[in-house]
């Protein structure tokens, strides 16, 4: 998080004379600034917002050259205070752990720090390393493009051109800095292209531009007879120097030498496999957002000068302002809700200035969806209390060294959002001590489910604890291993993903995405039944999830509303894979009696053995329940219910849609060989009931759900039973040390901290998951 609710606004009237500093104004005249900050004994510090900005600036520079950030940090101090005081200089020196004199020299040499007005700073390094690599040509090209000479600001006030003595970061000369970003390994054309992008409001990728990655001048090395060896250089595959990998080698360390260094992955040829790490996303602001066509908001009669898109500025059910758009950030089913800061342009130009860290274990898209709350709805408007303003979805760069700062266009809406995205490796192992226990959210026969917060990234997860002795005594080891296998290996947008798994000698732990929109059962109980479109939407997403499982020879066997969760946005997430049956080919049957009474298929009750088609019966039962409020053969007496499942005719209420009747009649055929879906999921997808579904868009989650749960934030448990959430969350101490070594070996492959997963979006063949069979 990069913001603080407390905002400090300084006005000139707040300044009182204490000490005098001489500054040069852009007009060429000189003036005095009277300010207590010119007393070095009175400290200065960045606001929380600017401190986070400073951290981002420093993170862009090579590890050994953080001191080169002195210039953008001084400029940041100038923007905060209005000019650069002694206290600002001392503060920057402390922040970068460099001598104060070094900062004083920079601030004195570059008089721009106390000039007003100053545009975006364009600084060209013209010292020897850069000059030998062509910086003179670059400076001339930049002067011609901007129409000013060093020390002057363009007529539109957008840019101020300066000549740098040395940035100290030009390990890939020549170097140019624009604002807070530096660009290396340049030629005149590259510089002009970068300036054009900045002028258009875009943020070019910082760092090396052409991949040459060397300070070697065009005419060759000038003073060394062999390639230089420094603390910031490593050997590339081709023998040249590579200073961007961030690997620190120093002659003072005898343990690491060039002949012993093996680079497993070069900077230019990174593997597409993702190594576990942390994806940091800073969402800053948006511009030019607007309401979708045909949507309007009632305006308050108390003011005729309100912004045309503003809704009543009051608090929602969770105390949030209803005036500004909010975002839902999602990565690998982890969702974070971010409210906008107060601002003057409401919907059009909100600011969030919020940082979110996501644990990365496998490649996944980053999704950012934008919504507006409202409490007043015009008659005939079916959009509900939430208005969808559009969103962004893309696959981040998971390179070991990556940083992005860009304005990204919004799809299914107008405008764009400014994002900063970076990625770094995380080699820390995961144990129970990696989490803070928050609440109990569920309990089963083998353990409980806790809501936890991962300490290093602050992400909220569901932690499922399982006592080894319990599953051993009840012969449930294979079922438990099957659940972990399915969760770890299958990647599907409608299946809850496994994040981590680990163990102790007494317990097994599964760390899952925390989906907190509530169980489908919870919402169905509250509303009685769902309308046709909502029922169809959930059934379609469930169909995609079951199709995925079947394509990898997995039978789910326990489809019911309690095992289906809703996320922030309203998409479903299938969970609880303890009853899954693995390695089931198309014709193979299993006889295990398991499931929930209301949803058991006839072939299972008759003990005839069953195939994957058993899941289509349960999908039919669930769809019937969503449309009517009860399963089709429900009875409080279980034996009578079993009789009805086997014998009673299927009856429908009068108001059931004809296509829904047809689909349910096909799914609830007692003979599995004649049941709709016997030929595969595509047979069900082709039914007229689903004719309005764009399956490609549905799988990509590009269709907005018909219902959004009321969720305050990632830690909200209001959609869970208070019977559990009122419990004290503890990881109970147990003494199951009597488990034999043979039993313990059954769990030897339990731990999971990220690996390759199976994504069936383009799968056309079946494949088994590896796990012990029943």
- DSSP letters along 371-410, please? EEE-S---TT--STTEEEEEEEEE-----SSEEEEEEEEP
The enclosing H or E element of 661 equals helix 658-667
d(CA 81, CA 176): 26
d(CA 375, CA 138): 56
Residue 6's pLDDT band (cuts 50, 70, 90): very low
Q: What is the pLDDT of residue 699?
A: 93
Q: Are residues 384 and 438 in the same domain?
A: no
Ranges of H-type helices in 161-272:
188-199
Q: What is the pLDDT of residue 24?
A: 33
Q: Are residues 571 and 691 in the same domain?
A: yes
Q: What three-state secondary structure class fits 762?
A: helix
Q: Is the Cβ–Cβ distance between 331 and 513 less than 8 Å?
A: no
d(CA 330, CA 700): 13
Q: Are residues 682 and 731 in the same domain?
A: no
Residue closest to 388 by CA, chosen among 291, 283, 517: 291
Q: What is the pLDDT of residue 210?
A: 58
Q: What are phi and psi of 147, to 5 degrees?
A: 75, 25
Residues 6+ apart with CB under 8 A from 119: 153, 154, 156, 157, 158, 159, 160
Bridge partners of 500, per DSSP, are 511
Q: Are residues 732 and 623 in the same domain?
A: no
Residue 710's pLDDT band (cuts 50, 70, 90): confident
d(CA 521, CA 509): 26
Q: Are residues 661 and 532 in the same domain?
A: yes
In a domain, 713, yes or no: no
**Does the pLDDT of residue 209 top 80, yes or no?**
no
**Does the pLDDT of residue 109 top 70, yes or no?**
no
Q: What is the pLDDT of residue 342?
A: 63
Tokens of 652: 């429908």
d(CA 9, CA 475): 66
Condensed to tens digits (0 to 9), the pLDDT of residues 115-138 reads: 555 678 787 876 666 766 777 788
**Higher pLDDT pick, 591 / 273:** 591
Q: What is the pLDDT of residue 485?
A: 81
Q: What is the pLDDT of residue 742?
A: 85
**Does the pLDDT of residue 265 top 70, yes or no?**
no
**Higher pLDDT pick, 343 / 164:** 164
In the predicted model, what is the mean pLDDT of the chain?
A: 76
558 is catalytic: yes
Pairing of strands 120-125, 159-164: parallel
Q: Is the Cβ–Cβ distance between 4 and 41 less than 8 Å?
A: no
Least confident residue range of 216-225, 240-249, 481-490, 743-752: 240-249
d(CA 588, CA 593): 16
Sign of the dihedral defined by the CA atoms of residues 409, 415, 418, 424, in that order: negative
Q: What is the pLDDT of residue 373?
A: 77
**What mean pLDDT do residues 646-651 have?**
95
The domain boundary, picked from 403, 425, 447, lies at: 425
**What mean pLDDT do residues 248-265 have?**
28
CATH number of the domain enclosing 125 = 3.40.30.10
Q: What is the pLDDT of residue 152?
A: 80
Q: Is the Cβ–Cβ distance between 60 and 206 less than 8 Å?
A: yes
Least confident residue range of 231-235, 440-444, 678-682: 231-235
Sign of the dihedral defined by the CA atoms of residues 149, 152, 153, 159, in that order: positive
Q: What is the pLDDT of residue 346?
A: 60
Condensed to tens digits (0 to 9), the pLDDT of residues 315-374 reads: 444 444 456 789 999 999 899 999 888 654 567 888 898 999 999 988 889 999 998 876
**Does the pLDDT of residue 246 top 70, yes or no?**
no
Q: What is the pLDDT of residue 401?
A: 67
Q: Are residues 186 and 167 in the same domain?
A: yes
Q: Are residues 693 and 741 in the same domain?
A: no
End-to-end CA distance of the chain: 47
Q: What is the pLDDT of residue 112?
A: 56
d(CA 171, CA 168): 8
Tell which phi-psi region holds residue 764, choosing left (phi > 0), alpha (psi between -120 and 50) or beta: alpha
Q: Are residues 184 and 286 in the same domain?
A: no
In a domain, 672, yes or no: yes
Range of the domain at 509: 432-515+722-762
Q: Which residue has the tokens 């029922």?
A: 535
* Among 134-148, 194-208, 266-280, 524-538, the range of highest mean pLDDT: 524-538
Q: What is the pLDDT of residue 654?
A: 92
In a domain, 499, yes or no: yes
Bridge partners of 403, per DSSP, are 422
Q: What is the pLDDT of residue 770?
A: 38
**Does the pLDDT of residue 383 top 90, yes or no?**
no
Q: What is the pLDDT of residue 311?
A: 34
**What mean pLDDT do residues 602-624 have?**
94
CATH number of the domain enclosing 486 = 3.30.200.20
**Higher pLDDT pick, 6 / 636:** 636
Q: Are residues 393 and 281 in the same domain?
A: yes
Q: Are residues 681 and 559 in the same domain?
A: yes
Sign of the dihedral defined by the CA atoms of residues 47, 52, 55, 57, in that order: negative
Q: What is the pLDDT of residue 482?
A: 80
**Does the pLDDT of residue 424 top 50, yes or no?**
yes
d(CA 26, CA 528): 70
**Does the pLDDT of residue 188 top 80, yes or no?**
yes
Q: Is the Cβ–Cβ distance between 626 and 525 less than 8 Å?
A: no
Residues in the chain: 774
In a domain, 732, yes or no: yes
**Higher pLDDT pick, 288 / 246:** 288
Q: Are residues 622 and 673 in the same domain?
A: yes
**Higher pLDDT pick, 642 / 755:** 642
**What mean pLDDT do residues 457-485 have?**
87
**Does the pLDDT of residue 759 top 70, yes or no?**
no
Q: What is the pLDDT of residue 224?
A: 36
Selected catalytic residue, list 180, 558, 576, 716: 558
**What mean pLDDT do residues 486-495 have?**
86
Residues 6+ apart with CB under 8 A from 189: 141
In a domain, 235, yes or no: no
Q: What is the pLDDT of residue 4?
A: 32
Q: What is the pLDDT of residue 186?
A: 76
Q: Are residues 549 and 660 in the same domain?
A: yes
Q: What is the pLDDT of residue 520?
A: 93
**Does the pLDDT of residue 27 top 70, yes or no?**
no
Tokens of 448: 């409980």
**What mean pLDDT do residues 482-487 have?**
81
In a domain, 364, yes or no: yes
CATH number of the domain enclosing 546 = 1.10.510.10
The domain boundary, picked from 191, 208, 225, lies at: 208
Tell me how many domains the chain contains.
Answer: 4
In a domain, 240, yes or no: no
**SS3 per residue for 99-162:** CHHHHHHHHHHCHHHHCCCCCEEEEEECCHHHHHCCHHHHHHHHHHHHCCCCCEECCCCCEEEE
The domain boundary, picked from 174, 208, 242, lies at: 208
In a domain, 398, yes or no: yes
Q: What is the pLDDT of residue 323?
A: 61
Measure Cα distances from 350 to 235, 417, 569, 588, 698 in Å. 46, 9, 20, 56, 29
């Amino acid at each position: 998080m990069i913001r603080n609710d407390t905002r400090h606004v300084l006005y000139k009237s707040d300044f009182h004379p204490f000490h005098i500093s001489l500054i040069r104004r852009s007009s060429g005249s000189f003036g005095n600034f009277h300010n207590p900050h010119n007393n070095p004994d009175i400290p200065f510090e960045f606001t929380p917002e600017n401190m986070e900005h400073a951290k981002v600036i420093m993170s862009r520079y090579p590890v050994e050259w953080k001191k080169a950030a002195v210039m953008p940090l001084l400029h940041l101090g100038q923007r905060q205070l209005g000019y650069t005081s002694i206290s600002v200089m001392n503060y920057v020196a402390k922040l970068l752990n460099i001598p104060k004199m070094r900062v004083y020299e920079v601030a004195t040499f570059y008089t721009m720090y106390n000039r007003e007005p100053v545009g975006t700073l364009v600084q060209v390094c013209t010292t020897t390393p850069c000059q030998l690599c062509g910086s003179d040509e670059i400076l001339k090209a930049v002067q011609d493009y901007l129409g000013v000479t060093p020390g002057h600001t363009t007529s539109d006030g957008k840019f101020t051109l300066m000549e740098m003595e040395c940035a100290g970061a030009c390990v890939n000369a020549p170097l140019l800095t624009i604002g807070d970003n530096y660009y290396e390994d340049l030629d005149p054309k590259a510089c002009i292209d970068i300036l054009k992008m900045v002028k258009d409001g875009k943020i070019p990728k910082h760092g090396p531009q052409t991949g040459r990655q060397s300070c070697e001048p065009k005419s060759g090395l000038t003073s060394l007879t062999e390639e230089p060896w420094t603390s910031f250089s490593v050997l590339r595959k081709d023998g040249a120097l590579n200073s961007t990998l961030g690997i620190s080698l120093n002659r003072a360390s005898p343990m690491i030498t060039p002949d012993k260094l093996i680079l497993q992955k070069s900077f230019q040829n990174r593997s597409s496999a993702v190594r576990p790490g942390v994806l940091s996303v800073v969402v800053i602001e948006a511009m030019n957002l607007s309401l979708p066509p045909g949507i309007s908001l009632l305006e308050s009669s108390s003011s005729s000068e309100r912004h045309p898109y503003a809704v009543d500025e009051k608090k929602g059910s969770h105390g949030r302002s209803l005036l500004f758009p909010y975002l839902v950030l999602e990565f690998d089913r982890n969702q974070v809700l971010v409210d906008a800061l107060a601002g003057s342009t409401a919907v059009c130009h909100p600011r969030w200035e919020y940082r979110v860290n996501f644990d990365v274990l496998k490649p996944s898209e980053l999704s950012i969806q934008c919504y507006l709350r409202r409490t007043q709805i015009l008659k005939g408007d079916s959009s509900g209390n939430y208005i969808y303003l559009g969103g962004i979805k893309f696959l981040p760069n998971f390179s070991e060294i990556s940083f992005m700062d860009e304005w990204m266009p919004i799809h299914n809406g107008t405008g764009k959002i400014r994002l900063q995205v970076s990625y770094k490796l995380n080699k820390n192992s995961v144990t129970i001590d990696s989490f803070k226990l928050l609440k109990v959210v569920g309990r089963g026969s083998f353990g409980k489910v806790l809501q936890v917060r991962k300490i290093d990234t602050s992400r909220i997860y569901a932690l499922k604890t399982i006592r080894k002795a319990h599953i051993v005594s009840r012969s449930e080891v294979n079922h438990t291993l099957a659940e972990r296998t399915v969760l770890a290996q299958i990647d599907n947008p409608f299946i809850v993903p496994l994040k981590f798994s680990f163990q102790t000698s007494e317990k097994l732990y599964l760390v899952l995405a925390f989906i907190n929109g509530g169980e489908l059962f919870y919402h169905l109980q509250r509303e009685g039944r769902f309308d046709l479109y909502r029922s169809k939407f959930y059934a379609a997403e469930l169909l995609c999830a079951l199709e995925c499982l079947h394509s990898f020879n997995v039978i789910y066997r326990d489809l019911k509303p309690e095992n289906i969760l809703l996320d922030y946005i309203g998409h479903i997430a299938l969970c609880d894979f303890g009853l899954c049956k693995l390695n089931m080919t198309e014709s193979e049957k299993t006889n295990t009696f398991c499931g929930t009474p209301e949803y058991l298929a006839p072939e299972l009750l008759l003990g005839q053995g069953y195939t994957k088609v058993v899941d289509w019966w349960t999908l039919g039962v669930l769809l019937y329940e969503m449309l009517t409020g009860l399963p089709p053969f429900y009875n409080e007496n279980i034996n009578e219910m079993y009789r009805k499942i086997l014998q009673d005719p299927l009856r429908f209420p009068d108001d059931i849609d004809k296509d829904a009747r047809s689909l349910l009649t096909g799914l609830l055929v007692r003979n599995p060989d004649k049941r709709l879906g016997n030929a595969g999921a595509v047979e069900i997808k082709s039914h007229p009931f689903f004719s309005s579904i764009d399956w490609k868009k549905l799988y990509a989650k590009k269709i907005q759900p018909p219902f959004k749960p009321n969720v305050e934030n990632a830690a909200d448990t209001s959609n869970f039973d208070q019977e559990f959430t009122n419990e004290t969350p503890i990881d109970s101490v147990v003494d199951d040390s009597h488990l034999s070594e043979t039993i313990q070996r059954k769990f030897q492959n339990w731990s999971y901290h990220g690996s390759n997963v199976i994504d069936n979006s383009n799968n056309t063949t079946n494949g088994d998951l590896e796990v012990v069979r029943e």
